[in-house]
Amino acid sequence: MSWIRDKELSLIERLCANVLKAGPVPKHVAFIMDGNRRYAKKCHVERQEGHSQGFEKLAETLRWCLNLGICEVTVYAFSIENFKRSKEEVDGLMELARQKFTRLLEEKEKLQKHEVCIRVIGDLSLLPLDIQKLIAQAVLETKDYSKCFLNVCFAYTSRHEISNAVREVAWGVQEGLIEPRDVTESLLDQCLYTSHSPDPDLLIRTSGEVRLSDFLLWQTSHSCLVFQSILWPEYTFWNLCEAILRYQYNYTAIQKSRELYSRDRARLQSETDQTWVQQNMFCVEHRNEEEKTKTFQRLLLQCQTDREHRTQNFLRALERKREFFLQSLCTN
Ligand code: IPE
Ligand code: IPE
Ligand code: MG
């Protein structure tokens, strides 16, 4: 079973997709693919079969997303909390991951054809070493594709991701790359595993559970959240259309709250810079008000340019550190 199904949409599905595409379609959709074990129980099949069918549903869903013009998908495949399940279940899920990543590497042409960039988001070091290596290979081989993006959250929780971002920032300060006053929401945002993706427009959770289970807590504060009662392996094209319709219904309100937030963030940053310059201007003597204003403007510009320079330098160092980790997994 491949990661992306080649099967085309039926005529009625195509028709419906075209109607939806006349409105705003979310660019980035996140899924909490929940309900595999309840599905297995309902169908009287083994639990592992439920997880396996869950993966097949992912492949089908990715095809629907491609057809609907959704170019980025993030899925919650395995949470750090899931390690607490029975050894038998965790081993089964790891085996499934092993098989699917091996298959993905065998089917490179398919990813190339659709130009799919695969990213695995989470704490890879918690995984068996052979799976870490497979993941590193898949991520590095597809990193330059940019038509569509599949982010697989594996060994992931949002709190773990945020704590890691804070540690990265602390490392930057310790190394003298950034200053404590450079630590802003925007910088933390860029230290998350998801730094290369825009925030999801739409988040869908299946199985009727109405909670986020520590998934993308930072990234979904302005996303449309849709909870659907269907179990993940039974998810249909029509369920996806319904979720998109709900997104379209809420589109204006979502855009408005996003705009307000980014405007506020820019204003806050500007105020912080101004305060810092004012506090550091006392040492400069001025002949008159005009000269004082000019000095203030010059120092403000300098402060902003310096901060931008330090931040970019730090983010490049972080990127190199992350790439080096993946590369060392492939070579050792
Ligand atoms: C989601 O389905 C898949 C994983 C967590 C790996 P579950 O395994 O949570 O199935 P339910 O929710 O117990 O039915
Ligand atoms: C969330 O589902 C994790 C995944 C879908 C991978 P869970 O089934 O593990 O979440 P809880 O335990 O019900 O909150
Ligand atoms: Mg569950």
Tens-digit pLDDT profile for residues 267-290:
999 999 999 898 887 666 767 888
> What does the pLDDT average to over 176-204?
96
Q: Which residue has the tokens 């990265």?
A: 168
User: Closest ligand 1 atom, CA of 78?
Assistant: 6
| pLDDT for position 289 | 84
Q: How far apart are CA 121 and CA 248, in angstroms?
A: 28
Q: Which two tokens stand for residue 278?
A: 């004012």
Q: Give the ligand with the smallest distance to the CA of 158.
A: 2
Distance of CA 176 to the CA centre of its chain: 28
Q: What does the alpha-carbon distance between residue 93 and residue 186 come to, in Å, rounded to a whole number?
A: 35
| Euclidean distance between CA atoms 134 and 132, whole angstroms | 6
Ligand 2 contact, 32 CB (< 6 A): yes
pLDDT attached to residue 166:
98
Q: Is the CB of 38 under 6 A from ligand 1?
A: yes
Instruction: Tell me how far apart the alpha carbons of residues 104 and 28 are, in angstroms, rounded to a whole number.
Output: 22
Instruction: With beta carbons less than 8 A apart as the criterion, state whether 4 and 59 touch.
Output: yes
Rounded to two decimals, the pTM is: 0.95
Cα 57 to Cα 31, 33, 155: the distances in Å are 12, 9, 20
In the chain, the amino acid numbered 74 is T
Neighbour count for residue 40 (Cβ, 10 Å): 21
For the segment 229-243, the average pLDDT, to the nearest whole number, is 98
Domain ranges, ordered by start, for the chain: 2-263
Residue 116: pLDDT above 90?
yes
Number of the ligand 2 atom closest to the C-alpha atom of 211: 14
**Residue 154, SS3?**
strand
Least Cα distance to 97 among 131, 130, 142, 122 occurs for 131
Q: What is the mean pLDDT of the chain?
A: 95
Res. 1 pLDDT band, cuts 50 70 90: low
Task: Residues 2-263: name the CATH superfamily.
Answer: Decaprenyl diphosphate synthase-like (3.40.1180.10)
In this predicted structure, the answer to whether residue 111 has a pLDDT above a threshold of 90 is: no
Residue identifier of the C-alpha nearest atom 2 of ligand 2? 34
| pLDDT for 284 | 65
Percent of the chain clearing pLDDT 90 (strictly above): 87
Q: Which atom from ligand 1 is nearest to the alpha carbon of 207?
A: 12
Closest CA to 180 of 314, 56, 287: 314
User: What's the pLDDT score for residue 283?
Assistant: 64
* CB of residue 101 inside a 6 A radius of ligand 2: no
